[in-house]
């Protein structure tokens, strides 16, 4: 059997061409339709491009955070030959100096490539110098002499712009030599520090019986004319407090602590309190090594942490903190770095941050203590005899054995940042354990920045969780009632009211929560608990009672107007629960006052005593209420639209088969509209995650790591709003805040993507319901 192709007859084609004029689409309409089609496509593509562009810009600001240090040699200068052991530099890098072992200091002018000044402490003081140390932080030399004296020489740099270009000059002020007590034993090692009126000098003096440890407190009178001369106050012989032969001493910048290293590798931490030195701690930093002796020991910036190296190259940091159960700060290991080829020959700590430079032979390494990261390391073409980090952390200077000064440029703008700093646990100075911590600024120059984003992420999720817990049940039940049970006229009022709620500025809601809601709920938590229990209970009881009434009574209220009867009942229940709250508190939330010894009813004191957690006025409960108030309109509007768009045939069929309205709503309408309901919840979740002003004003804005409903939090968005105005442009904090924005962007993107996938699957699942 052969099938023939059917062709339309000519009459049909002619009839098709002869369309009446009134049925033809106007050319202008077709043009507008095509234009709008392409315009909408272009608009959609433009929105996607704009969002992508914003993300690219934000992400580009964070890239420098994860770059290492860049070091390049830029200059080479020749010092006069000498046996140099200390290298220093001014703030501008124009007048570096090198000090010989006899204390002689040569300043080198890098602009004119010649020696600018030579300082001989022996000739200036009239004493023979036998030991010295340079205090980089305070820019002072302290010299010890062969006859048991010491004196301080201050280095004063000053820039001069009189010629139009900057020219740095230096002056040295030599203090009066003072005796280290009554003895006149030669000084073999010396350390000095002062903090305001507190000043302390310590020295190792070589006597008949060996090295003796001497400490001397100093006083300095100040007046309107400036600071006066140093005068000796009290001398301490600390030799008996140290076991073994002392080989190195350090005085902390607060001038009350002294760390001593002996020849057996043991460390002694001595503190001055009440006019008396005591050994607060004695410990062995390298117990597991066959030879416990330390190769080097120096302070980091702030003098709270000690950087120690062993002869085998082990590099550790010991910091001061109060151990659990203790009352005094003690040293303990907090950081461990990759081992050096051997013990450190050179060490220098940055004066800008917690970075330090160590060298072992020709191998040098720039490391950052907080994050335990190596910023840069290399093997040089020479063995440095002295090294220093530029005062602005922008250069590295090395002096080799041939008295040549090698100047390297240093570009390491964000040493504090790393993946571990943002997402890992770190034991910061003064803390007894590793933790997640956000504290971007402090009151002192030696502050250790804490940039963990984990507390901010937890705070973001915490605030969102409590907002959704409050908003979702209310919004969903309201949407179900409005779409399935309320009279259609009721919707004419509900929808506009919800839109007005959604239009309220978040700053107004934050203002109300901070100044009205938080003080109100502080003493009314028992009332709130009682209301949460009573409202659902009374609602269910009223529903059961209403269904049990005879039909002749129920028909008095039109279907969809039952809320008129229920509303007064709920208002009375609300008032009853509010006023019975204090009674409820006296029954269940009683604690004993430790001072008076009497029992008092106070939920604010009962909660910390029972749970061991804090109770704060501005807490997550307040945020949950007010942020939930902002989220409810979004969830309600979208969920109500989804429920109302369920085909009426499904509802009618369910009712015709004998199902009640509630059975129809829960088993037919809600499953059919579930993809839309899920979308409503996810959009509300996105609104809560990105909320800023309510969180800023309604919480204590403290970045903490708990889910306690009665404590506050700090979210990523609130952190950006609070910190960004004060963040230095393109600084570490500035870029870290942008990184927080990137994390927030990715959180919402991933959440929305997962939500869309789930929504599509739910849509397929309930498509045939």
The pLDDT tens digits for 136-162 are 888 999 999 998 889 989 999 998 888
Predicted local confidence at residue 602, as pLDDT: 87
Q: State how many domains the chain has.
A: 3
In angstroms, the CA 686 to CA 678 distance is: 12
Predicted local confidence at residue 289, as pLDDT: 61
Predicted local confidence at residue 673, as pLDDT: 86
**Final residue in a domain of this structure, among 395, 423, 451:** 423
Residues 163 and 271 in one domain: yes
In angstroms, the CA 286 to CA 292 distance is: 5
- Region of 382 on the Ramachandran plot (φ > 0 left; ψ -120 to 50 alpha; else beta): beta
Q: For the sheet with 346-349, list strands across it.
A: 346-349, 355-360, 363-368, 373-379
- E-strand ranges in 253-345 read 257-262, 267-273, 276-283, 294-299, 305-310, 315-321, 330-337
Domain membership of residue 443 (yes or no) is no
In angstroms, the CA 351 to CA 359 distance is: 18
Residues 278 and 143 in one domain: yes
In angstroms, the CA 110 to CA 108 distance is: 6
- Closest to 168 (Cα-Cα) out of 124, 119, 108: 108
Domain membership of residue 298 (yes or no) is yes
Domain membership of residue 157 (yes or no) is yes
Residues 376 and 487 in one domain: no
- 532 exposure class (CB count in 10 Å sphere: 0-12, 13-18, 19+): exposed
Residues 624 and 505 in one domain: yes
Residues 339 and 487 in one domain: no
In angstroms, the CA 64 to CA 189 distance is: 43
Find the length of the chain.
769
Residues 229 and 328 in one domain: no
Contacts for 102 with CB less than 8 Å, ≥ 6 apart: 122, 129
Sign of CA dihedral 322, 326, 330, 333: negative
Q: Which residues of 14-38 are buried (b: 16+ CB within 10 A; e: fewer)?
A: eeeeeeeeeeeeeeeeeeeeeeeee
Contacts for 181 with CB less than 8 Å, ≥ 6 apart: 148, 214, 216, 235, 237
347-373: per-residue pLDDT in tens?
Answer: 999 999 999 999 998 999 999 999 999
- 754 exposure class (CB count in 10 Å sphere: 0-12, 13-18, 19+): exposed
Instruction: Tell me the HSE value of 608 on the side-chain side, using a 13 A CA sphere.
Output: 8
In angstroms, the CA 107 to CA 94 distance is: 10
- Closest to 685 (Cα-Cα) out of 736, 767, 762, 756: 756
φ, ψ for residue 133 (rounded to 5)?
A: -150, 145
In angstroms, the CA 578 to CA 102 distance is: 82
Contacts for 507 with CB less than 8 Å, ≥ 6 apart: 693, 697
Q: Which helix (H) or strand (E) holds 411?
A: strand 404-411
In angstroms, the CA 147 to CA 179 distance is: 8
Q: Which residues of the chain have pLDDT under 50?
A: 1
Residues 206 and 166 in one domain: yes
Domain membership of residue 60 (yes or no) is no
Domain membership of residue 397 (yes or no) is yes
Residues 137 and 78 in one domain: no
pTM: 0.86
Predicted local confidence at residue 335, as pLDDT: 92
**Final residue in a domain of this structure, among 423, 451, 477:** 423
Instruction: Tell me the HSE value of 759 on the side-chain side, using a 13 A CA sphere.
Output: 17
DSSP readout, 212-225?
EEEEEEEEEEEETT
SS (H, E, C) 293-306: CEEEEEECCCCCEE
Domain membership of residue 718 (yes or no) is yes
Domain membership of residue 41 (yes or no) is no
In angstroms, the CA 6 to CA 27 distance is: 33
Residue 177: DSSP 8-state: P
Q: CA-CA distances (angstroms) from residue 591 to 524, 583, 708?
A: 17, 15, 20
668-715: per-residue pLDDT in tens?
Answer: 888 888 888 888 888 888 888 888 888 888 887 888 888 888 888 899
Residues 98 and 128 in one domain: no
Domain with 371, as residue range(s), is: 68-114+291-423
Instruction: Name the maximum alpha-carbon separation found in the chain.
Output: 133
Residues 500 and 365 in one domain: no
Contacts for 1 with CB less than 8 Å, ≥ 6 apart: none
Predicted local confidence at residue 441, as pLDDT: 82
Domain membership of residue 509 (yes or no) is yes
User: The CATH number of the domain where 715 resides is what?
Assistant: 1.10.3720.10
- 490 exposure class (CB count in 10 Å sphere: 0-12, 13-18, 19+): middle
In angstroms, the CA 190 to CA 213 distance is: 10
Residues 344 and 239 in one domain: no
Residues 378 and 492 in one domain: no
**Final residue in a domain of this structure, among 371, 399, 423:** 423
Predicted local confidence at residue 8, as pLDDT: 58
């Amino acid at each position: 059997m052969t099938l023939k192709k059917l062709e339309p007859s000519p009459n049909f084609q002619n009839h098709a061409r002869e369309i009446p004029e009134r049925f033809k689409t106007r050319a202008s309409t077709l043009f507008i339709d095509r234009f709008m089609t392409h315009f909408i496509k272009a608009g959609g593509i433009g929105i996607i491009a704009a969002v992508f562009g914003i993300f690219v810009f934000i992400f580009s600001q964070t890239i420098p955070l994860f770059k290492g240090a860049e070091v390049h040699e830029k200059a080479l200068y020749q010092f006069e030959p000498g046996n140099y052991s200390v290298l220093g530099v001014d703030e501008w890098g124009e007048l570096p100096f090198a000090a010989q072992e006899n204390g002689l200091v040569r300043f080198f002018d890098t602009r004119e490539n010649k020696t600018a000044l030579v300082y001989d402490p022996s000739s200036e003081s009239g004493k023979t110098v036998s030991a010295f140390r340079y205090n980089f932080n305070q820019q002072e030399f302290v010299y010890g002499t062969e006859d048991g004296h010491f004196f301080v020489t201050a280095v004063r740099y000053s820039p001069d712009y009189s010629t139009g270009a900057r020219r740095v000059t230096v002056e040295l002020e030599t203090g009066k030599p003072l005796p280290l007590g009554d003895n006149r034993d030669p000084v073999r090692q010396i350390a000095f520090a002062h903090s305001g009126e507190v000043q302390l000098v310590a020295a190792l003096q070589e006597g008949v019986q060996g090295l003796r440890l001497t400490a001397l407190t100093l006083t300095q009178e100040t007046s309107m004319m400036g600071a006066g001369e140093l005068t000796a106050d009290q001398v301490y012989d600390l030799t008996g407090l140290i076991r073994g032969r002392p080989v190195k001493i350090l005085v902390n910048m607060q001038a009350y602590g002294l760390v001593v290293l002996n020849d057996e590798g043991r460390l002694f931490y001595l503190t001055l309190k009440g006019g008396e030195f005591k050994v607060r701690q004695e410990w062995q930093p390298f117990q597991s090594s066959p030879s416990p002796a330390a190769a080097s020991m120096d302070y980091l910036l702030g003098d709270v942490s000690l950087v120690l190296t062993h002869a085998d190259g082990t590099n550790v940091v010991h910091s001061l903190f109060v151990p659990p159960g203790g009352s005094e700060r003690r040293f303990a290991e907090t950081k461990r770095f990759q081992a050096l080829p051997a013990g450190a020959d050179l060490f220098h700590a940055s004066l800008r941050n917690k970075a330090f430079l160590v060298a072992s032979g020709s191998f040098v390494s720039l490391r950052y203590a907080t994050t335990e990261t190596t910023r840069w390391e290399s093997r040089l073409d020479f063995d440095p005899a002295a090294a220093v980090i530029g005062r602005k952390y922008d250069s590295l200077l090395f002096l080799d054995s041939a008295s040549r000064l090698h100047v390297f440029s240093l570009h390491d703008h964000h040493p504090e940042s790393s993946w571990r700093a943002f997402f890992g646990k770190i034991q910061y100075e003064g803390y007894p354990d590793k933790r997640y911590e956000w504290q971007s600024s402090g009151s002192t120059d030696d502050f250790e920045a804490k940039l963990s984003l984990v507390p901010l992420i937890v705070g973001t999720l915490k605030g969102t969780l409590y907002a959704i817990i409050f908003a979702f049940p209310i919004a969903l039940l309201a949407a179900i009632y409005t779409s399935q049970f309320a009279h259609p006229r009721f919707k004419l009022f509900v929808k506009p009211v919800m839109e007005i709620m959604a239009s309220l500025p978040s700053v107004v809601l934050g203002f109300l929560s901070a100044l009205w809601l938080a003080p109100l709920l502080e003493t009314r938590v028992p009332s709130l608990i009682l209301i949460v229990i009573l409202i659902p209970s009374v609602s269910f009881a009223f529903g059961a009672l209403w269904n049990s009434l005879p039909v002749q009574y129920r028909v008095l209220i039109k279907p969809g107007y039952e809320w008129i009867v229920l509303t007064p009942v709920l208002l009375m229940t609300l008032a009853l629960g509010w006023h019975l709250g204090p009674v409820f508190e006296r029954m269940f939330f009683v604690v004993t006052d430790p001072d008076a010894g009497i029992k008092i009813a106070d939920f604010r004191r009962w909660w910390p005593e029972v749970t061991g957690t804090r109770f704060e006025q501005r807490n997550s409960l307040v945020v949950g209420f007010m942020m939930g108030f902002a989220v409810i309109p979004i969830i309600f509007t979208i969920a109500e639209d989804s429920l109302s768009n369920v085909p009426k045939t499904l509802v009618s069929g369910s009712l015709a088969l004998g199902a009640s309205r509630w059975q129809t709503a829960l088993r037919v309408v809600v499953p059919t509209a579930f993809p839309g309901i899920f979308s409503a919840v996810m959009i509300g979740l996105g609104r809560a995650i990105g909320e800023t002003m309510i969180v800023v004003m309604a919480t204590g804005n403290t970045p903490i790591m708990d889910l306690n409903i009665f404590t506050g939090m700090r979210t990523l968005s609130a952190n950006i709003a609070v910190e960004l105005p004060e963040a230095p442009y393109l600084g570490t904090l500035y870029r870290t805040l942008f990184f927080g924005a990137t994390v927030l962007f990715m959180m919402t993107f991933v959440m929305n993507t997962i939500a869309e996938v789930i929504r599509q699957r739910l849509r397929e699942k309930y498509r045939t319901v």
